[in-house]
Amino acid sequence: MNTGSEACHVLPRAGGPRTWAFGAARLLVIGLALGWLYGWAGPRLYPEQQRFGFGWGMAHGALMPMALPALLMGRDVDIYAGTNTGRAYKLGYITGINLCGLVVFGGAFWRPARRCNEVAGVVRHERPEG
């Protein structure tokens, strides 16, 4: 008998076509929003006569996946700064790419967890104290 105090071990349902379509639609909306963000932020994040370090590398790495639509449409956009500090910039760049992937794909396919009792169909009855 499940009293609700045990750990919940309910296997997730396999996603059907509707679930995948909804995830793909969210991915598209997030992609469009990030594409707009790249159009606004791209020119501001590559100032002239500057040597770029870790923080700039994170920003450039986060923007790099957002540059794909612009590159596919024939625009020549910056995705990496040639004048950088070396290893610190590269570490920031890799960190930015990974954080961007986490936000984009995590946001597109994230499903809020349901409470175990709701999933298992368990009804809790309150006990009187005393």
Please, is 121 exposed, middle or buried when counting C-beta atoms within 10 Å of its C-beta (0-12, 13-18, 19+)?
exposed
DSSP string computed for 70-107: HHHTT-----S-SSB-SHHHHHHHHHHHHHHHHHHHHH
Higher pLDDT, 113 or 58: 58
Q: What is the pTM of this model?
A: 0.58
Q: Provide the 8-state DSSP code for 6.
A: S
pLDDT of residue 88: 97
Give the angle 94-100-103 at the CA atoms, nearest 5°: 145
Q: Domain boundaries in the chain? A: 25-119
Query: Tens digits of per-residue pLDDT, 94-103?
Result: 999 999 888 8
